[in-house]
Chains A and B, each alone.
Chain A
Amino acid sequence: MTESNQSMTKTSPLQGLLSAFIPGLGQFVAGLRARGFYIFATVFTMGGLSVWTIAQRARFPDYGLSLGIFLRLSVQAAALLLFLLAAQRLLTRFILHDPVAQTFSGYGVGILYVLAVTYLTQSFLSLAAAGVETNQYHATTAVFAAAAMAALWIWQIGDAARVGGLSSQQPKPSIGSLIFIACVIIFILGYNITGINLPKAISEYQDTAILLPRMFWPWRNAFEYTQEFEEATQKIQAPCPAGDEGPPANSPDPDVAWVSATPTCGDLSERPITGGLMLGTELTITGGNFTPGQVVDILWNNPIGNAFRPRGMGPTEITIDLDGGFSTQLNIPDAVISASTAVGAQIHTLVVRQSSEEVFTGRLSQDMILALELMLQTIMIGLMATFFGIILAFPVSFLAARNLMAPVVSPLNRIVGSGIGLIAGVWAGGIITGQIANRLGGLAEAPIQIFLAGIFAVGMLGLLGFQSIGTLFTRLTNSLGAQGTGKVLTSLVLAALAAAPGYLLGIGFSRGIRSIVLGDEVAALQESTYAIAGALLLALVAALYGMLRRSGEGVKIGMAIYTVSRTIMNIVRSIEPLIWAIVASIWVGLGPFAGTMALTVHTIAALGKLYSEAIESIDQGPLEALQATGANRLQTIVYAVVPQILPPFISFTIYRWDINVRLSTIIGLVGGGGIGFVLIQWMRLYQYENVGIAVWLITITVATLDYVSSTIRERFV
Chain B
Amino acid sequence: MLKVENLTHIYPDGTVALRDVSFEVPDGEFLGIIGLSGSGKSTLLRCINRLLDPTEGKVIWNGVDLTELDQADLRKSRREIGMIFQHFNLVRRSSVMTNVLSGRLGYTAPSWSLINRFSRKDREKAVAVLERMGISNKAYNRADELSGGQQQRVGIARALMQDPKMILADEPVASLDPVLAHSILGALETLNKEDKITVLCSLHFLDLVQRYATRVVGLRDGRLVYSGSKEDVGKLSDQRFKDIYGEEAQRLDTD
Contact = CB atoms under 8 A, between A and B. Distances in A.
B114 A643 contact: no
Contact of A643 (B89, B93, B113): B93
Contacts of A636: 105
Interface residues of B, number: 38
Nearest to A620: B89
A347 B88 CA distance: 100
A479 interface: no
Contacts of B116: 638
Contact of A625 (B83, B98, B108): B83
Contacts of B90: 622, 625
Contacts of A647: 93
Interface in B82-112: 82-83, 85, 87-94, 98, 102-108, 110
Contacts of B81: 628
B79 to A, nearest CB: 4
B158 interface: yes
A630 B108 CA distance: 10
Nearest to B106: A630
B168 to A, nearest CB: 8
Interface of A: 619, 621-622, 624-632, 634-636, 638-640, 643-644, 646-647
Interface of B: 49, 51, 71, 75-79, 81-83, 85, 87-94, 98, 102-108, 110, 113-114, 116, 155, 158-159, 161-162, 168
Given A630-B105, A639-B102, A625 B75 contact: no
Nearest to B77: A630
Given A629-B78, A635-B105, 14 more contacts: A621-B87, A625-B83, A625-B89, A628-B49, A628-B81, A629-B83, A629-B103, A629-B162, A630-B77, A630-B79, A638-B116, A639-B91, A644-B92, A646-B93
A625 B91 CA distance: 9
Contact of B94 (A629, A634, A643): A643
Contacts of A635: 105, 108, 110, 113
Contacts of B49: 628
Nearest to A646: B93
Contact of A634 (B83, B85, B114, B168): B114
B180 to A, nearest CB: 19
22 contacts: A619-B92, A621-B85, A621-B87, A622-B89, A625-B85, A625-B89, A628-B81, A628-B82, A628-B83, A629-B78, A629-B102, A629-B104, A629-B159, A630-B79, A631-B75, A632-B75, A635-B110, A639-B94, A640-B91, A643-B91, A643-B94, A644-B93
Contacts of B159: 629
A333 B76 CA distance: 100
A540 B82 CA distance: 47
A624 B102 contact: no
B105 A639 contact: yes
User: Closest 5 CB pairs between A and B?
Assistant: A630-B106, A621-B89, A631-B105, A625-B89, A630-B78
Nearest to A627: B51
Given A626-B102, A630-B76, A639 B93 contact: no
Given A629-B82, A629-B102, A624 B113 contact: no
